[in-house]
Amino acid sequence: MATSATCSKAVLSKLVKEVIKLEEIISNVMSKMVVIDGKIDVLMTKPTESQATEQEMDPDFWPEPLKEVEEVKLLEEILLNNDKYYQLVNIIRNLGGGSITSAVKCAWSRVFSIKVMAFVNWKGVATKNHQKQGLKKSIITKAIFGKSCAKHRRPED
């Protein structure tokens, strides 16, 4: 016959297991809420931080991913123009993604072709016999991550 202490331990053990399961569920829900919150932030972005308005949109600005490494420097120069910079930010934001990781992958794929991706890396460190172009401090990276900086902040109306 089981004692009350043994029964209590069994019940307590079951309760602990259930609490752990609930914590996992809550953790999953919270991570999904972070993604949803990010999407809401994108939708609610103030006009002063968003890209050019519909009237200012240049439909020919970004037809397809860069195909040549030389185009990376050219794009960086183009992005010094606030309207172009925020137009790229908006294009990237509208790509979406099921998670932050997939959204970033979609963004890089939208900007660079596979050929160009082979010639860039985060720090610009050479691999084998090829010098790579660094992206860590690139204005393209800032646009992909939707960052505003002093050079690219739209003046408030």
pLDDT of residue 37: 80
- The answer, yes or no, to whether residue 48 has pLDDT greater than 60, is no
More confident residue, 13 or 57: 13
The fraction of the chain above a pLDDT of 90, given in percent, is: 20
- The answer, yes or no, to whether residue 49 has pLDDT greater than 50, is no
Alpha-carbon gap, residue 29 to 106, rounded angstroms: 24
Which long-range contacts link 143-146 to residues 24+ away (Cβ below 8 Å)?
143/79, 143/85, 143/88, 143/89, 143/92, 144/92, 144/104, 144/107, 144/108, 144/111, 145/104, 146/42, 146/89, 146/92, 146/93
More confident residue, 45 or 55: 45
The fraction of the chain above a pLDDT of 70, given in percent, is: 82
pLDDT of residue 68: 92
